[in-house]
Amino acid sequence: MRYPAPRCAARCAALTPPPPPPRSAARRRIPISCEFEGKLAEVGDDAAKRIAWQKEQGARTSFPRVIRAGYSNLNLINFFTAGADEVRAWTIKSGSTAPQAAGVIHSDIQKNFIAAEIYPYEAFKEHGSEAELKAVGKMRTQGKLYEMADGDVAYFKHNS
């Protein structure tokens, strides 16, 4: 039985796998040594010991580069929330708006979103406190259309 041309073309297109994505700078190979990473894991969780052992070996762990490349290839970014006793990192798709980012924390915050107080983490490192950020004008209030940037620190205002 022969299919009419449009139906056959659509069927063939559905069965054909998509072409591989073009190799870009973000999709580069990262050398990693499982033996080195395993020995580094045996050193323990003490950061000073890990740094000293890496200097002694003359090599560095590849995990931070692998994580950054993974986030880049998956089009993901981080934003932070900070309270008096806790700082938390949240992962969202690049291009997410402030309400969408709030929805990662809880759907009620997204649904009842009013505004977000936003400041970049780099500015916080530079000035040292939220009060100083407000004084120099680095903390800003953003609405529903604000697109979150990698490294933003956010405080979401919402109706309960």
Q: What's the whole-number mean pLDDT along residues 103-124? A: 93
The domain limits of the chain are 29-70, 76-158
Q: Is 88 helix (H, G, I), strand (E, B) or coil?
A: strand
**CATH level 3 topology of 76-158:** Ubiquitin-like (UB roll) (3.10.20)
Whole-model pTM: value is 0.70
Q: What is the mean pLDDT of the chain?
A: 85
- Going from the C-alpha of 157 to that of each of 103, 111, 117, the distances in angstroms are 12, 11, 8
Pick the range with the lowest mean pLDDT from 8-12, 105-109, 129-133.
Answer: 8-12
Contacts of 86 (CB under 8 A, 6+ apart): none
Can you give the pLDDT at residue 111? 94
State the pLDDT confidence band at 160, using cuts at 50, 70 and 90. confident
Contact by Cβ (8 Å): 144, 113: yes
